[in-house]
Chains A and B, each alone.
Chain A
């Protein structure tokens, strides 16, 4: 009974079923990461402007195609739901609040590691590869924070893993590029492939678990 009356869980379940059950968002994310991993590699071939345009077009085509597939594949299996504006606002607030909390923890860590408070900053004791990539580390942590906030807010636990894969994929790619001159972003491509694989697996499970329904019964 208490489970039936838990409105927050009901709202979360509804949103999760409508949004994250089919694996197509995961597939989109995986494809976008694989395309992004080609960015610096294809820049040498196409030049910076044409490369950016080409990458953008490929990403738009991939995401657009998957959105179209979603619109055809999901409603006959999962059904259709419309969320009220209050629900959308509440869900956005939940994600924002979690992201702010995670960022506040990161900021506290940064301040305590720098010389803002302490005479001898712990930051300086860190290895050079850390201090050389402080901006990249910040964006890695930011990415992990955003994915974690989605994972926590909607109880989609795999998004914690995606945050780690995306964040460290970016960071390791930059480190390899600077230290080894490797243009192709192998870590990013690997992360994208893992996420794409998970997405395809979820899609197959979804097709098995949610057969097509029609109102004729």
Chain B
């Protein structure tokens, strides 16, 4: 990293923001998962107003990052998917919250 790049990192805390969480749809999903123990796809769809495909793709990205744990089960021969934040995801969300608050607090009025 160049000296200019390092300087930018120090000056712009936004550069360190976790981009996996920062996307609005994923932020919504992470926020709702943060306040509950676990929820299924349908519950998350209703809360976030995202479509099935959207929520599925965002959850895949969060799963790849290790932020959520997805468990598929069968209830009455129908597949049923419960999602919950992993410990890593919970920690990442707390860090994100701290960082974004810091950025907003440092903005001039």
B52 touches A217 (CB 8 A): yes
Question: Could you tell me the distance in whole angstroms from the C-beta of A139 to the nearest C-beta in chain B?
Answer: 35
Is A14 part of the contact surface with B, judged by Cβ < 8 Å?
yes
B41-77 interface (Cβ within 8 A of A): 41-47, 52
* Shortest Cβ distance from B72 into A: residue: A215
Q: Which of B37, B44, B78 contacts A84 (CB 8 A)?
A: B37
Q: Could you say which of A10, A76, A78, A79 contacts B31, with CB atoms under 8 Å apart?
A: A10
Closest to A18 in B: B43
Interface contact A213-B39, CB-CB below 8 Å:
no
**B19 at interface by CB-CB < 8 Å:** no
Determine the chain A residues whose CB is within 8 A of the CB of B42 once the complex forms.
75-80, 213, 215
Q: Assess whether B24 is in contact with A4, with CB atoms less than 8 Å apart.
A: yes
Nearest CB on B from A207, distance (A) = 14
Contact check, B82 vs A10: say whether CB atoms are below 8 A apart.
no
The residue that B79 contacts in the complex, of A13, A79, A83, A216, with Cβ under 8 A, is: A216
A83–B82 Cα distance when bound, in Å, is: 13
Distance between B46 CB and nearest chain A CB, rounded to angstroms: 6
Instruction: Find out whether the CB atom of B82 lies under 8 angstroms from the CB atom of A4.
Output: no
Alpha-carbon distance A82/B43, docked complex (angstroms): 10
Report the interface size for chain B: residues with CB under 8 A from the other chain. Answer: 27
A215 and B40 alpha carbons, distance in the complex (Å): 10
Check if B15 is an interface residue, CB within 8 A of chain A. no
Q: Are A83 and B44 in contact (CB-based, < 8 A)? A: no
Whether A17 lies near B43 (C-beta < 8 A) is: yes
Contact (A10, B38) CB under 8 Å given A17-B43, A80-B82: no
Check if A213 sits within 8 Å of B28, measured CB to CB.
Answer: no
A78 CA to B45 CA in the complex, in Å? 9
B92 interfacial contact with A, CB 8 Å? no
Return chain B residues, CB-CB under 8 Å to A77. Answer: 42
Known: A4-B31, A14-B47, A214-B78. A79 touches B41 (CB 8 A): yes
Q: Do the beta carbons of B43 and A215 come within 8 Å of each other?
A: no
Q: Which of A56-103 contact B (CB under 8 A)?
A: 75-84, 87
The 14 sampled A-B contact pairs (Cβ below 8 Å) are A4-B27, A7-B34, A10-B32, A11-B35, A75-B42, A79-B42, A79-B45, A80-B39, A80-B42, A80-B82, A81-B38, A82-B38, A213-B42, A214-B78
Q: Which residues of B does A touch, CB under 8 Å?
A: 24, 27-28, 31-32, 34-47, 52, 78-82, 97, 100
| Chain A interface residues toward B at CB < 8 A | 1, 4-5, 7, 10-11, 13-14, 17-18, 75-84, 87, 210, 213-217
